[in-house]
Structure 1
């Protein structure tokens, strides 16, 4: 028995160049941990889960929640793997609830979006793009996503790790211990790279 389609924001994610990893087991464990933490932080219709290989997917009721999930997964995997995402909006039809099989326009649009991100990465100036969006996303939100993708691409692993703490409300002293630097050095990164401002832009986008 199938369930009638309901409009959702579908998210498809994929690790970049994962086949080049020297430790596939550790990579999969890191991805699983990142998805678990994101599922605990973000309300989802269908929680994120690994599907085939290093690809994963989930579904959300709001665009802001889907974007929040992309940010948390990407930053959680800092120093481990790069990630690309495709988002799509539309109906989702459950084909087999027991096996978790779904279909519908939202998934088709998300697949088109992530394929476009992969193609863009091969074009001059496109390497920083990590988030594909459907055409219905307005120009303001689309511009914000592009600017955040570009800003994240410029940050060092240390700055991204600190940014993750900023947007998740963690303690600077804890991230300082984890990175082996002083709290003053953490504050220096926050100021130098304008991480508080970037974090504010990201969390504001989560409200759309």
Structure 2
């Protein structure tokens, strides 16, 4: 089994400085690589505003999406389709390995399904599809939708504080880096829902 990830930037064409946005995407991919090591194919931009990755474990892929969203500078955001199935290398070109397989098909279908889901559930940014055994999708997508709802409500500072909390930084350290009081950090983490993300995060 492999877990393929295909993502794109939301409303990227509205950005005046697209080069800066692409640099931000590179930095977000690097942030995910640092925090979720061991990817079979680390997240990296491909063409335009898309990026891809391959993981051996679904939890790693889902956690990588969280880091990517938090690491992007507000209001930049991304939507991600995750496919669970097979990945096969069928050749190589000057651009890299040529890949195929049911995980990629499922990831593309998941990404394309998000447009319709976003109309029903504002702020949803993650969709998971299995090439087989679709019964599992309901539970994972329910979790992802709840998490997306929290993150989609963050402002720039709340993203930084949430990511810092996931990294295990203390509230005193976060307060110093933001130039605010420790009490303000505590209130932000509680009111924004970031502490829920921290409770579910087991990597730090």
Unaligned runs of 5+ in 2: none
Which of 53, 66, 82 does residue 58 from structure 1 map onto?
A: 53
Which of 66, 72, 92 does residue 71 from structure 1 map onto?
A: 66
Shift of 1:118: 2.1
1:149 is paired with a residue of what secondary structure? Answer: helix
Relative to structure 1, is the Cα distance of residues 28 and 177 closer, same or farther in structure 2, using a 3 angstrom cutoff?
A: farther
Please state if 1:13 is matched with 2:7. Answer: yes
Please state if 1:32 is matched with 2:26. Answer: yes
Q: Distance in 1 between matches of 2:92 and 2:11?
A: 31
Q: Distance in 2 between matches of 1:180 and 1:47?
A: 33
Which of 12, 17, 22 does residue 23 from structure 1 map onto?
A: 17
Unaligned runs of 5+ in 1: 1-6
Q: Distance in 2 between matches of 1:55 and 1:138?
A: 23
> Partner residue of 2:117?
120
Aligned residues: CA RMSD: 1.9
Higher relative contact order (CA 8 A, sep 6+): 1
Out of 99-108 and 139-148, give the one that drifted further.
139-148
Relative to structure 1, is the Cα distance of residues 138 and 20 closer, same or farther in structure 2, using a 3 angstrom cutoff?
A: closer
Relative to structure 1, is the Cα distance of residues 175 and 101 closer, same or farther in structure 2, using a 3 angstrom cutoff?
A: farther
Shift of 1:172: 3.0
> Partner residue of 2:174?
175
Shift of 1:39: 1.2
Per the normalisation by structure 1, the TM-score is 0.86
**Could you list the per-position Cα deviations for residues 13-66 of structure 1 after superposition, in whole angstroms to 9, with x for gaps in the alignment?**
100011111111111111101101211221211111111111000000111000
- Checking the alignment, whether the CA contact within 8 Å between 1:27 and 1:80 is kept in structure 2 is no
Which of 93, 96, 101 does residue 98 from structure 2 map onto?
A: 101
Shift of 1:97: 4.3
> Partner residue of 1:166?
165
Q: Distance in 1 between matches of 2:185 and 2:14?
A: 31
- Checking the alignment, whether the CA contact within 8 Å between 1:30 and 1:80 is kept in structure 2 is no
Relative to structure 1, is the Cα distance of residues 153 and 186 closer, same or farther in structure 2, using a 3 angstrom cutoff?
A: same
Which of 86, 90, 95 does residue 91 from structure 1 map onto?
A: 86
Which of 42, 45, 52 does residue 47 from structure 1 map onto?
A: 42
4+ runs deviating over 6 angstroms: none
